[in-house]
Structure 1
Amino acid sequence: MTGPVLAVDQGTSGTKALVVCPERGVIGSGSAPVRPRYLPGGRVEVDPRELLDSVVGAGRAALAAAGEPVVAVGLANQGETVLAWDPVSGEPLTDALVWQDRRAEPLCAELEAYAPSLLERTGLPLDPYFAAPKMAWIRRHLTRQGVVTTSDVWLVHRLTGAFVTDAATAGRTQLLDLDTVDWSRPALDAFGLADERLPAVVDADTPVGTTTAFGPELPLTGLLVDQQAALLAQRVTEPGTAKCTYGTGAFLLAQSGPLPRRSTTGLVGCVAWRLAGRTSYCLDGQVYTAASAVRWLTELGVISGAEDIDTVGGSVPDAGGVTFVPALAGLAAPWWRGDLRGSVSGLGLDTTAGHLVRALCDGIAAQVAELADAAAADLGAPLTALRVDGGLTRSALLMQAQADLLQIPVEVSALPDVTALGVGAVARLGYDRALTVAEAVPRWEPSAVYEPAADAGRAAERRARFRTAVAALLDAGPA
């Protein structure tokens, strides 16, 4: 049995670090905030140094809280966040463009002729959400110097000196061939990135070097993109099973097995992980605004924070005819219309804060239900349950709405911080090659299970209202 590992989850709004012991579970934790800047024109950026400082700060705090040594480190990352940097000095040459950033929209429109071939080759629709459009935008508008990569490559380089990315994170760029799990020359050509120096694509459980950033010299033995790390920790390892993480956005991933699958419904086909040379794939759907929509309501003064969702929303029996499409950063899968804005309809003089909160819960849940239907269509069988994690799963109102609109049980993970736990499991696999995946991943159990309380007809009506509101947005076009 290996000793404890340090598992670091570098996320959009903060970094969480856990010291995870195989026998005793989490024995220390630390966190550090990250403050992305939300700017006009759909721009979202952050100082890369803040990302690195948060990783080091959270990791050191977790180690101090644990009070005992660890044997290895794992690092999870945001996925589609990119920057340019100097590979000699390691210094950033630009701010980091966060995954939510939309400034590459015109570039994607210009490359529309390549969209079908890119989808077939990489599994990803052409959209500024992914890394390659942002990388190409940086090269056109900011700098031709240094290298341009996803944030994990820079963080790993600063920690260890290595120049690598794991296969799942590489799959978020739109530059990875889904079949060969290597960089695609035609995709690089399409984005004008053919001359770039690219990191080596490695297995998630690959020892990539050592770091002294957290104190004693430690091997970095696990790398994985955040949502796939959560997928692993939720033990969604068999085809047909799925999980959804409710964070800044909401992300539904369905396991599709050892063969790549191209979605026909608007989802993303991508690498779940590559462990010990074996690749697993998944289908992925995104809701751009979940907790960020709750934060928006908070800033308007409708509620004082996410902890008020159930209290305020529970003051009314339903949404009172209000329909909320929380596309505050555009619509992601399966529509891929990042240029659209959100909408609230059905308002009246009797509309209260409770109705708005209920409508937001229904809006988030309806978008996730659309993703679940799309995954079921691609997989050829309905999902039988949805495993969920993330901060918003503390809202019984949202989770009940999710079960009602899906008409299947919603199983809330009892494990906090599943992304960190997932990359911690990967770090253990990289450190101890004798371990199996089943042995490395924490035991999974739900803290709560929400069964559908609304009948199928009522659920269908709520979803139909949401689809009508989305159709109105699509017809109206960009604001």
Structure 2
Amino acid sequence: MTTVLAIDQGTSGTKAVVVAADGKILSLAEQPVRPHYLDGSGVEQDPQELLDSVLATGRAAVARSGALVDIVTIANQGETVLAWDPDTGKPLSNMIVWQDRRAEAICASLAGFKEDFAKRTGLVLDPYFSAPKQAWIRKNVTREGVVTTSDSWLVHHLTGEFVTDVSTASRSLTTDLDSTEWDRELLERFGLGGERLPRILPSDAIAGTTTAFGGMMAVGGLIVDQQAALLAEDCLQPGEAKCTFGTGAFLLANTGSSAARSTAGLAASVAWTVRGQPTYCFDGQVYTAASAVRWLQDMGFINHAAELDVIAAADSGGVLSVPAFAGLAAPWWRPEAKASLTGMSLSTGPAHVVLAVLQGIAAQVAELGTLIATDTGRPLQRLRVDGGLTQSRVLMQAVADLMQIEIDVYPSQHATALGAAALARMALEPSRTLQDAIVPWKPNTVYEPKWSGDQATEFRTRWTSAVHATR
């Protein structure tokens, strides 16, 4: 029976939980990390701050649990990258965060290969993914060392190994979706053909060992944060979907064991690979969710996120928000898009703006749900949700109203960590099945649509017009 230290290293914070063999959370430690938003669409983080947060939260969680931990797992941001010295582990650049848009020109220069990238990788040619940002570092920051996603650097500091996991590699634009191996021709297109590349591990592999958190512990079960949440929420069958409401909002749907490509502008990637069998997913992104709420806070509309439901108006008074503070992803893929507020009058107040921003987030999620239905050939029957913003009843009701389906709220704020813990169990216990490794759960709240279908259609039509008007 396996006790796991599961570390969720996210954009806004690092969380470490110790999970007992029966799935009970024995301890929790958290530490905020704050990205730096720069002029010119840059978003960076201090690598040392991230590493320190991983070590501090992990050690605190182990100490508080009083348990003997068998294995450490890390869920990572997916598309955040840096350059670093593989001999010393010293960072040679800041972390370039997944929200960073400075590689737009690199993607534009490769526009003639757009269809080929989609065919081979399942991804849209966009700065969101890791390879364009890696190429940007090589062009603008340093040619020294290696340039990888954040997980490789963190795991190297823990184990000395040079690895990544298959779900993270599939978010790069340089991995063949069918073979789940690096594609040398695609690497060459980004000027990365001569780079030293981490070894790609399946999701149930042991990467190495570490003593960073006390005694000797295995390190394994590595995965991207969003795929970890998909697993924790028991989305094991094709068509089952979840949406995580964190810094951004990310809707993922299981597409089974075949590597399907999206015809609707979604990304297709590896969800996980266990026991030699890959499972794939479609995913769509809302780049700003909690970060849009943080904008409301910075502008003085609210003091903190807990006030959202108190301050939000019952009706927006005709105000519409397109919260594209970091551009628009699927289906528009418009990195240059800017946020907008329209329909305001002299009677518009903070309450209307707060509701409009929440409805704008919900409207983007609803659009992603429609794309999932287009690609899979069947509408979503219900949506499982997790993340800090699920505590906003106004936002969750808006999602139910606009999607016209029931919304099941995951009962723990630790879905990502629990999903990674399931894979860690798989890594240490060869006889376990994936279903058996997941902690059983029931929703703590279910939201049903209150709007009619006509109301939802009318709002989404007006909101889509507002999207088309953004610049």
Q: TM-score range by the shorter chain?
A: over 0.9
Contact 2:2–2:428, Cα closer than 8 Å, also in 1: no
Aligned to 2:134: 135
Aligned to 2:466: 469
Aligned to 1:385: 382
Report matched runs for 1:3-14 at 5 Å. 3-14=2-13
Q: Is residue 2:144 matched to residue 1:150?
A: no
Aligned to 2:243: 244
1:270-329 CA-partner distances (Å, limit 9, x unpaired): 10011121100000000000000000000000011110110001xx32111000000011
Q: CA deviation at 1:438?
A: 1.0
1:296 counterpart SS class: helix
Q: Any unmatched runs of 5+ in structure 2?
A: none
Change (3 A) 1:24 1:170: closer
1:225-245 CA-partner distances (Å, limit 9, x unpaired): 000000000011101111000
Report matched runs for 1:265-344 at 5 Å. 265-313=264-312, 316-344=313-341
- Matches of 1:381 and 1:205 in 2, distance apart? 31
Contact 1:415–1:444, Cα closer than 8 Å, also in 2: no
Contact 1:167–1:204, Cα closer than 8 Å, also in 2: yes
Aligned to 2:197: 198
Q: Which amino acid aligns with 1:303?
A: I
- Matches of 2:17 and 2:466 in 1, distance apart? 42
> Which stretch of structure 1 is more off in the superposition, 60-69 or 283-292?
60-69
Contact 2:23–2:439, Cα closer than 8 Å, also in 1: no
Q: Is residue 2:450 matched to residue 1:453?
A: yes
Aligned to 2:233: 234
- Matches of 2:8 and 2:283 in 1, distance apart? 20
- Matches of 1:317 and 1:135 in 2, distance apart? 45
Q: Which amino acid aligns with 2:77?
A: Q
Aligned to 1:434: 431
Q: Is residue 2:87 matched to residue 1:88?
A: yes
* 2:392 pairs with one of 380, 389, 395: 395
Q: Which amino acid aligns with 1:396?
A: R
> Which stretch of structure 1 is more off in the superposition, 391-400 or 35-44?
35-44
Tell me the TM-score normalised to structure 2 length: 0.99
Runs of 4+ in 1 over 4 A off after TM superposition: none
Aligned to 1:347: 344
Q: CA deviation at 1:91?
A: 0.8
1:95-128 CA-partner distances (Å, limit 9, x unpaired): 1101111111111111111111111110111111
Q: Which amino acid aligns with 2:258?
A: L
Q: CA deviation at 1:444?
A: 2.2
Q: Which amino acid aligns with 1:435?
A: R
Q: Is residue 2:209 matched to residue 1:210?
A: yes
Aligned to 2:39: 40
Aligned to 1:25: 24
- Matches of 2:358 and 2:12 in 1, distance apart? 21
Q: Which amino acid aligns with 1:92?
A: P
1:172-219 CA-partner distances (Å, limit 9, x unpaired): 111110011100122112111111111111111111110111111110
Q: Which amino acid aligns with 1:40?
A: D
Aligned to 1:364: 361
- Matches of 1:354 and 1:45 in 2, distance apart? 32
Contact 1:256–1:282, Cα closer than 8 Å, also in 2: yes
What RMSD over aligned residues (CA atoms) do the two structures have, in Å? Answer: 0.9
2:357 counterpart SS class: helix
- Matches of 1:15 and 1:317 in 2, distance apart? 35
Aligned to 2:262: 263
1:442 counterpart SS class: coil
Aligned to 2:402: 405
Q: Which amino acid aligns with 2:456?
A: A
- Matches of 2:80 and 2:198 in 1, distance apart? 15
- Matches of 1:186 and 1:120 in 2, distance apart? 14
Contact 1:221–1:428, Cα closer than 8 Å, also in 2: no
- Matches of 2:111 and 2:387 in 1, distance apart? 35
Aligned to 1:112: 111
1:71-95 CA-partner distances (Å, limit 9, x unpaired): 1111100000000111111111111
- Matches of 1:130 and 1:341 in 2, distance apart? 20
Q: Which amino acid aligns with 1:419?
A: T
- Matches of 1:38 and 1:213 in 2, distance apart? 31
Aligned to 1:159: 158
Tell me the TM-score normalised to structure 1 length: 0.97
- Matches of 2:78 and 2:353 in 1, distance apart? 32
Q: Which amino acid aligns with 1:167?
A: V
Change (3 A) 1:180 1:294: same
Aligned to 1:172: 171
Contact 1:167–1:181, Cα closer than 8 Å, also in 2: yes
Q: Which amino acid aligns with 2:109?
A: E
Change (3 A) 1:215 1:387: same
Q: CA deviation at 1:24?
A: 5.7
- Matches of 1:415 and 1:431 in 2, distance apart? 24
